[in-house]
Amino acid sequence: MNRMPMENLNIAQFDLMPSPQEIHDRVPLTETAAETVFQGRETIKAILDRKDPRIFLIVGPCSIHDPIAGYDYAQRLKRLASEVQDTLYLVMRVYFEKPRTVTGWKGFINDPYMDDSFHIEEGMQKARAFLMQVAELGLPAATEALDPISPQYLGDLVSWTAIGARTSESQTHREMASGLSTPVGFKNGTDGDIEVAINAIRSASLPHSFLGVNRMGQSAIVRTRGNAYGHVVLRGGGGRPNYDTVSICMVEKALAKAKLPANVVVDCSHANSLKDHTLQPLVMSDCVHQIREGNQSIVGLMLESNIEAGNQPIPADPSRLKYGCSVTDPCIDWRTTKLIVRKARNVLKDILPVRESLKLRV
């Protein structure tokens, strides 16, 4: 008697993926890149521990789709980072994976040619090569951990990791974060719920055991130590921002109640700018004002920035894409980025060294 198949009924095919070790061998970590990543992680940890008075700024494209334009941006950002390094610590936003509510381009790793060909094996290697280029410049990188396997391929080139609003509540992502080698920022929920992020920080700080893959691509039981550098990222939600003084005060109280450090990163985009990229400078200015007036909890800021402002649809012919313009969320342009980063540095350069002696005056 022939038994009916009982599994993989909706699987069209399995294509073999190179193991993390194979991708590492193709794009090996250099000493220069390793030093950049290490210094990036240690600097952000020092800022979170209040041993470094600077503010770290995650700034860059909403997503990387063109490595040439992305590297152009990285070179510009490196020059700006050197200019403001006494006050602000700049980390490039390098996002390769994009969560989708229903459908849409899932990012450079999943579909590097933006034509639904889904050459994930090529996307992963190209993503690693791009991260290597950025690190070789001496510029640390930040990314969002969406696929729980991807860190085995790319994690040694990342200095800061975000867990997104859609995944902060996910047990899989909390477990993954507990084993990441970077500080991890957990975003509040899309409805604005801050408890999601706080619970995620607490969960990721503890050891976990779960199914995953090892460096050789084999199925493995992953046993983690827990990540002591989780923190909140405020991105707004539920139709309103949450970067204002009252919202941040409420977050500080919630963190204190949970016995967690009062470390807050404000995402100047997404719901905090009401999805209007032209409002990002106002959000950043407001946060800088709060720090100037005595805020003690804001340790980082995030900006979605690109060479050109706005965004564009993905055309049938990718060669017609506008250079340096986002294909996902709209971004502020490079000119605006320089202006607001320099302005923040000028406002904060004399305040941050004595920040702890200030009291909230607003």
Length of the chain: 362
What would the mean pLDDT of 156-183 be, rounded to a whole number? 97
Per-residue pLDDT band for 99 (boundaries 50, 70, 90) equals confident
The pTM score is: 0.96
What would the mean pLDDT of 62-74 be, rounded to a whole number? 98
Q: Which amino acid belongs to residue 304?
A: E
Residues 140, 40: Cα–Cα separation, whole Å:
5
> Does residue 323 have a pLDDT over 70?
yes
Residues 355, 134: Cα–Cα separation, whole Å:
32
The pLDDT tens digits for 55-65 are 999 999 999 99
Rounded CA Rg of the chain:
20
The pLDDT tens digits for 203-225 are 999 999 999 999 999 999 999 99
What would the mean pLDDT of 77-84 be, rounded to a whole number? 98
Per-residue pLDDT band for 32 (boundaries 50, 70, 90) equals very high
What would the mean pLDDT of 174-192 be, rounded to a whole number? 97
Largest CA distance in the chain: 82
At residue 4, the pLDDT reads 84
Percent of the chain with pLDDT over 90: 93
The pLDDT tens digits for 233-280 are 999 999 999 999 999 999 999 999 999 999 999 999 999 999 999 999
Tell me which CATH homologous superfamily contains domain 21-354.
Aldolase class I (3.20.20.70)
Taking the domains of the chain in order of start, what are their residue ranges? 21-354
The pLDDT tens digits for 118-142 are 999 999 999 999 999 999 999 999 9
DSSP states along 331-356:
BB-HHHHHHHHHHHHHHHTTTGGGGG
DSSP states along 293-316:
TT--SEEEEEEEB-SSSBB-PPPS
Residues 336, 309: Cα–Cα separation, whole Å:
9
Mean pLDDT score of the chain:
96
Give the burial class of 244: count Cβ atoms within 10 A of its Cβ; 0-12 exposed, 13-18 middle, 19 or more buried: middle
Residues 70, 63: Cα–Cα separation, whole Å:
9
At residue 362, the pLDDT reads 38
Per-residue pLDDT band for 98 (boundaries 50, 70, 90) equals confident
Percent of the chain with pLDDT over 70: 98
Residue with tokens 């992020």: 197
Q: Which amino acid belongs to residue 226?
A: G
148 conformational bin, left if phi > 0, alpha if psi -120 to 50, beta if neither? alpha
At residue 358, the pLDDT reads 61
Q: Which amino acid belongs to residue 238?
A: G
> Does residue 53 have a pLDDT over 60?
yes
